[in-house]
Structure 1
Amino acid sequence: MFGWGRRRRDEAAGTEPVDDEQVIGETADSVPGGPYDESEAPDDGVERLDLGSVRVPVPEGGQLQVEVDPSGPVRAVHLVTQFGRLTVSAFAAPKSAPLWPEVSKELGEQLRKDGARVHTEDGDWGSELVADSPKAALRFVGVDGPRWLLRGVAAGPAEHAKDCAKLLYAVLDETVVVRGEEPMPVRTPLAIQLPEAIARHIQQAQQGQANGQQSG
């Protein structure tokens, strides 16, 4: 089990704070907050999945769901939990101004065009987007860092929305972003790199599927 972040974040989501014993090595009130830039990554003993541009903790019982483009690059990695699906992505951002206000406004407009009911809520990292769509209840959280934007998305059934949001906050609170030094256009997604064992498993599955189609 990874640390669950600060209690005030649970309160912002309208949920009850978790018990102190759920936090690794510290009380819930004393856990330092992330997400962290690579240069500030804490040596806290938290196990994180290294995805290249982001290192994310995996909730207990969580499973990975990987989206891969036909051409090969990894499009997204999702954490599937008992309450819903979490997605954490990082993007290149400017030095001079925060990017999330602009991105969230555009995202809200697109969600409304798609028929979702959208409103904003104030959270620890600023404005959050909450959307109700026919398929799922969605929450979008953006965190502006040094030359990067970290975006977290919680998607799941409406009845689990609060618990799913609480998990998203906890994951973001302990995520490490690896931006790199190379210049990139603003909003460029930071590349996702799968651990070798996971990449090999996906490649074998794709080959098995291709062989099955050929034999069929």
Structure 2
Amino acid sequence: MASDDLTIGSAQGPYDIDALATSADDLANSHLDLGSVLVPVVEGGQVTVEMTADHQPEAVYLVTPHGRINVTAFAAPKSPGLWREVVTELAESLRDEGARVSIEDGHWGREVVADVPGASHRFVGVDGPRWMIRCVASGPDTDAEELSRLARAVLAESVVRRGSDPYPPREPLPVVLPPVLAEQVAAAQQQMFAEGAEGIPEGLEPPPGLVDEEPAPPPSSGSAMQQFRNRNRN
């Protein structure tokens, strides 16, 4: 049920879309709609789309001058506490990969920080009603503080659209590209295929954004970011 007091721009998120009083038109003007999650677009930034082997969107990154930010929604049990489980597993996985890992207290609770030579990666998670949202901020270690501030601002205005479909706990909720972005991705892929190149379409221009603010290196291993979805689904 929507609350008259819960509106976009109040920095009280991440929000459940069913609890928001903000209209769909206002959301369309301020957010990038990715199906299961709507994220505020960073002013002056770009969007990078990561595709699966069968050409389906797997992850979308907001690229800023300080690094890149990914916001992903996951299915969760009715009882809260999934992020607390994930923190421990994620920290162990990152340490195994050679990162220097610390756990810090943030606005929503525990945050995982993984430092590798020249780069820093911050993982922030929040439990919601039958969902968990995770924000990953990756960038040069010299910009870590500014990127963390920006990532929290993005997360505080992100919206989760869980839907009623059943998903196992920890399953990433589907990413659906808006038509304009999907067309840009398809055109970029066709161009790369025509040129005999392989890779991910990058540097796509998003619509004007809500949050005021050089692509950053990815985490040391992509597996660390997704590690917890392969653990016990209970």
- The TM-score with structure 1 as length reference comes to 0.81
The unaligned stretches of length 5 or more in structure 1 are 1-23, 26-30
Correspondence for 1:201 among 174, 184, 187: 184
Separation in structure 1 between the aligned mates of residue 116 and residue 180 of structure 2, nearest angstrom: 36
Mapping for residues 181-196 of structure 1, pairs under 5 Å: 181-196=164-179
The structure with higher relative contact order (CA 8 Å, sep 6+) is: 2
- Residue identity matched to 1:174: E
Q: What amino acid maps onto 1:78 in structure 2?
A: Y
Which residue of 13, 17, 20 corresponds with 1:38?
A: 17
Q: Aligned AA for 1:204?
A: A
Shift of residue 198, structure 1, vs aligned partner: 1.1
Tell me the number of residue pairs that the alignment of Structure 1 and Structure 2 aligns: 186
Q: CA RMSD in A?
A: 1.8
| CA distance in structure 1 between the aligned counterparts of 2:195 and 2:69, rounded to whole angstroms | 31
From 62, 67, 80, give the equivalent of 1:79. 62
Task: Identify the residue that residue 58 of structure 1 maps to in structure 2.
Answer: 41
- CA deviations 1:100-139 (Å, max 9, x no partner) are 0111111100100111111111111111111111252011
Q: Paired residue for 1:91?
A: 74
| Amino acid of the structure 1 residue aligned with 2:125 | G
- Report the TM-score, using the length of structure 2 for normalisation: 0.75
In the alignment, which of 154, 157, 167 is matched to residue 150 of structure 2?
Answer: 167
Corresponding residue number in structure 2 for 1:70: 53
Which structure has the larger Rg? 1
The 1:180–1:101 alpha-carbon spacing in structure 2 relative to 1, beyond 3 Å, is same
Q: In 2, distance between residues paired with 1:196 and 1:206?
A: 15
Which consecutive residues of structure 2, in runs of 5 or more, have no partner in the other structure?
Answer: 1-7, 198-234
What whole-Å deviation, never above 9, does each CA across 1:113-166 have from its counterpart, x for those lacking one?
111111111111111111111252011000000000000011111111110001
Name the SS for the 1:120 alignment partner. strand
- Choose 35-44 or 158-167, whichever is displaced more: 35-44
Residue 93 (structure 2) aligns with: 110
User: Quick check: 121-130 or 200-209, which moved more?
Assistant: 200-209
Identity of aligned residues (%): 52
In structure 2, the partner of 1:180 is 163
